[in-house]
């Protein structure tokens, strides 16, 4: 069965692809733009994850391993299934199974466990309090994940609604919004405790790290919170808000995330140069 195409831009390129692969592609310009944003986001975040893991191999500090795994799993869980489904729709007309797509998405919550382990290493409170707090946070995330997957395997519509072509998430249900919100709040509260600790130190280098991480947290918070407001938009405006308020702040936020934690010497020289 052939699928009709709405040709956005670059008609010559599209015609070449159509003739070369003998396919017809059904995507509006804004859908193609969303797909490109997802690919860019995945490339950027996977690069940052590899840099964190490289840093771990160089300095042998377990916190860099934790943060690298957090970024790696979180970035894959938010993109790989939608990118794969886009290709399947383009070449076969059929998306990935919705249950499979939402199953992969669920790992974005589980990845926060590595974030809590990271903060466990760096937050300056008593070991006993850290152990209790970290254990409690991990248990809550696991409980959230259990609820998410039970609802998912009962009926994927309890988690969200896909767009008309079935290749990406259009809206999330109240249940999934609540579960994601709780998990994100726990992560951001822990993250902010670490940032406040960094900002209160008299050491300029640590304080600079705190400022950069504060910018990262603000951008990531914009990205996360904006996802809950998308239900108020429709059509091309919906996709425009997705680009501007979700994907762009998330990409830039993760870049600040990496810079803040590793503080490359070039950044340190620029902001900490002596007058």
Q: Taking the chain (275 residues) in consecutive chunks of 10 residues, what is each chunk's mean pLDDT?
A: 43 55 66 88 93 91 92 94 91 89 95 91 77 93 97 95 86 91 90 86 86 91 80 75 85 90 84 63
pLDDT at 57: 93
Q: What is the dihedral of CA 261, 266, 267, 270, to 10 degrees?
A: 160
Q: Which pLDDT belongs to residue 232? A: 74
Identify the pLDDT of residue 170: 79
């Amino acid at each position: 069965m052939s699928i009709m195409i709405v040709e956005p831009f670059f008609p010559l390129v599209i015609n070449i692809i159509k003739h070369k692969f003998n396919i017809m592609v059904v995507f509006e310009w804004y859908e193609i733009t969303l797909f490109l944003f997802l690919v860019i986001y995945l490339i950027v975040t996977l690069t940052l994850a590899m840099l964190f893991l490289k840093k771990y191999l160089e300095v042998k500090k377990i916190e860099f391993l934790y943060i690298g795994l957090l970024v790696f799993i979180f970035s894959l869980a938010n993109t790989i299934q939608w990118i794969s489904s886009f290709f399947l729709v383009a070449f076969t007309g059929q998306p990935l199974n919705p249950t499979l797509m939402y199953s992969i998405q669920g790992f974005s919550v589980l990845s926060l466990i590595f974030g809590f382990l990271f903060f466990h290493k760096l937050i300056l409170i008593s070991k006993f309090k850290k152990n209790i707090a970290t254990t409690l946070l991990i248990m809550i995330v696991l409980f959230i994940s259990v609820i998410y997957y039970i609802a998912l395997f009962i009926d994927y519509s309890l988690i969200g609604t896909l767009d008309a072509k079935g290749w990406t998430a259009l809206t999330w249900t109240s249940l999934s919004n609540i579960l994601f919100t709780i998990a994100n709040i726990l992560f951001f509260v822990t993250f902010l405790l670490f940032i406040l600790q960094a900002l209160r130190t008299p050491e300029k280098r640590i304080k600079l790290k705190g400022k950069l991480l504060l910018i990262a947290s603000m951008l990531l918070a914009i990205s996360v919170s904006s996802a809950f407001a998308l239900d108020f938009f429709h059509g091309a405006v919906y996709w425009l808000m997705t680009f501007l308020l979700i994907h762009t702040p998330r990409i830039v936020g993760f870049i600040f995330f990496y810079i803040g934690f590793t503080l490359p010497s070039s950044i340190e020289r620029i902001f900490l140069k002596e007058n």
